Amino acid sequence: MLQNKYDVVVVGGGPAGSMAAWEVAKRGVSVCMLEKDRDIGYPVRCGEAAGESGLRQFVEIQDNWIAEKITSAKLVSPNFTAVDVNFASETGYILNRRIFDYDLSKYAANAGAEVYTKAYVKNVLTKNGQTNGVVLDYLGEEKQIQAKIVIGADGLTSRVGRWAGLKTQVRMKDMESAVQYSVANVDIEPNKMIMYVGMNHAPGGYVWVFPKGKKFANIGIGISGKYSKHKSAQKYLDEFMKREYPDAAILTTMCGGVPCAKPMEKPVANGIMLVGDAAHQINPMTGGGIVAGMKGGWIAGQVAAKAIQNNDYSENGLIDYPKRMRKDFGKNHERFYKIKEATEKLTNDELNSIAEKVLSIPHSQRTLTSVFKAAVFKKPTLIIDVLKVFAGV
Amino acid sequence: MINIRANRCDYCGACVSVCPVDCIEVRESSIEIEHAICIDCDLCVEICPIEVLEVHAAE
């Protein structure tokens, strides 16, 4: 039963939240995780792509999490020049987030975390400049929970951080407006992800086609908030579907925003930590955030447990979290952000000529490394770097 | 004033994330704008991937 006091409260039951709750619970510290929806893992708002090596850092990968193994990618330039690239050493996955997220929450619960769904947090409690709990609606009643540390894993809205005084709002140019269809009755080559780049396909983003088993796929688009004013992401996607997959049956429509921003400088303050999308722990080039969010939750959970044991949950007591994040992930994050900014300036013509250059490499020799070497003469490219990053090379 | 076509909404929260004044409340299956706080910047309209929000000309 929901208590009115825990050492740690985690707001949000996605992968970042579950990892945080799991790490805290493992260390014998009392923790509860509050999910606003009626289910963990549903609705899914994600392309569901993640690298094998990234996931393996935290968990043993279960067969039923995997909808499709990805071993190659096809990149399509604005003039439809298609470039196939094999992944040399790395494997990617298209996950079943519905099962995956659910299992992570079970791991947390089995370690001792309490998990509650339909628990909507609507404010934080503060005392003397220290966040010390949350206010929530749970089963039709308003409740308060006291906590020494609140971990905001509340996704892109990141209101927990905002209420606690952290600057979590994302600039429009750094926000991707995204929509995805899960579709059936499509003929798609297995084990291959397809991405379309360029202003005509997806300004400031890309269209993805991620196979999820026979005749089934996630097909989605992200466009930069810089360009979404006059034409919505869904309009772009509908044009794409009509042209490329006119016979597809759209089973689900899901949408979302993806904060492709610089890493948040300080996702902590007195008594509060942010993880996952809430802390913009997303590869700003690919919009991929599963592994990054898990890393954030994993480190934050460890630091939170230690802070409780040390009886110091001030900002100072939590500062190891951003420090470790920066060391582990932050440098790459900043590099990817710079590449994103550079590649966004590439014109359709430049993207086409890069695609043609890459095509001149024989297919058998076209690995991520050889492609990268060929393209690097031009300039860093969206195509190459998206691939590299997706493959985790 | 922002008008919500609520029956189109997927409750994803993209609008909440760009709102400079935190006037939008999205729950599991509801969306509300606190119009008294809203400054009509229209960023939520721009970011919404599926055109749930629209600018409603003042009467």
Per-residue pLDDT tens digits for A21-48:
999 999 999 999 999 999 999 999 999 9
Which structure tokens are listed for A243? 């042209």
Q: How far apart are CA A245 and CA A82, in angstroms?
A: 17
Q: What is the pLDDT of residue A137?
A: 97
What span, in angstroms and rounded, lies between the C-alpha atoms of A121 and B46?
A: 27
The pLDDT of residue A368: 59
- Asked if A117 and A139 count as a contact pair (C-beta separation under 8 A), the reply is no
CATH of A5-46+98-170+261-340, one of 1.20.120.1770, 1.10.10.350, 3.50.50.60, 3.40.50.300: 3.50.50.60
Q: Is the pLDDT reported for residue A207 higher than 50? A: yes
Query: Do residue B47 and residue A172 have CB atoms under 8 angstroms apart?
Result: yes
A75 touches chain B (CB under 8 A): no
| Cβ-contact A366, A84 below 8 angstroms | yes
Task: Tell me which amino acid residue A78 is.
Answer: P
Residue pair A158/A189 in contact by the 8 Å Cβ criterion: no
Out of A305-314, A353-362, A364-373, B24-33, least confident range: A364-373
**What average pLDDT score do residues A135-142 get?**
95
- DSSP track, A336-382: HHHHHHHHTT--HHHHHHHHHHHHTS-GGG-BHHHHHHHHHTT---H
Residue A19 makes CB contacts below 8 A (sequence gap 6+) with A58, A104, A108, A275, A293, A294, A296, A297, A298, A301
Contact assignment for A169 to B20 by CB distance below 8 Å: yes
d(CA A79, CA A198): 9
- Cβ distance B49 to A178 less than 8 Å, yes or no, reads yes
Interface of A with B in 25-54 (CB under 8 A): 36-38, 43, 45
Question: To the nearest whole number, what is the mean pLDDT of chain A?
Answer: 91
Which residues are within 8 A (CB) of B13 and not within 5 positions of it... i.e. 6 or more apart? Answer: A155, A156, A157, A256, A257, B26
Task: Please tell me the predicted confidence (pLDDT) of residue A393.
Answer: 36
pLDDT profile of chain B (59 residues), mean per 10: 93 95 94 96 96 83
The CATH code of domain A172-256 reads 3.30.9.10
Portion 153-212 of A in contact with B at CB < 8 A: 155-159, 162, 168-170, 172, 175, 177-179
Residue A339 Cα, gap to closest chain B Cα (Å): 23
Amino acid, res. A20: A
Whether A54 shows a pLDDT value over 50: the answer reads: yes
Q: Where are the domains of chain A?
A: 5-46+98-170+261-340, 68-91+345-393, 172-256
A148-194 residue pLDDT tens: 999 999 999 999 999 999 999 899 999 999 999 999 999 999 999 99
Q: Is the preceding omega at residue B20 within 30 degrees of 0, hence cis?
A: no
Q: Is the confidence at residue A73, as pLDDT, over 80?
A: yes
- What is the least distance, in Å, from the CA of A254 to any CA of chain B? 7
- Determine the pLDDT at residue A367: 66
pLDDT interval class at A380 (50, 70, 90): very low
Q: pLDDT of A82-118, one tens digit each?
A: 988 888 777 899 999 999 999 999 999 999 999 999 9
| A22 and A103 Cβ atoms separated by less than 8 Å | no
- pLDDT, tens digit (0-9, with 9 covering 90-100), for A259-318: 999 889 899 999 999 999 999 999 888 888 999 999 999 999 999 999 999 999 999 999
- Tell me which of A113-127, A309-323, A326-340 is least confident: A326-340
What type of residue is A88? A
Among A144, A114, A115, A145, residue whose Cα is nearest residue A36: A115
Class of domain B2-55: alpha beta
Q: Do A229 and B46 touch (CB under 8 A)?
A: yes
Region class of A392: left (phi > 0), else alpha (psi between -120 and 50), else beta: left
Residue A392 is predicted with a pLDDT of 45
Round to whole Å and give the CA distance between A74 and A82: 6
Write out chain B residues lying below 8 Å of A43, CB-based.
10
Is there a contact between B26 and A157 if contact means CB atoms under 8 Å apart? Answer: yes
- Please report the beta strands in A206-246, taking only residues with DSSP state E, as ranges in sequence order: 206-211, 216-224
A120: chain B residues, CB-CB within 8 Å: 27-28
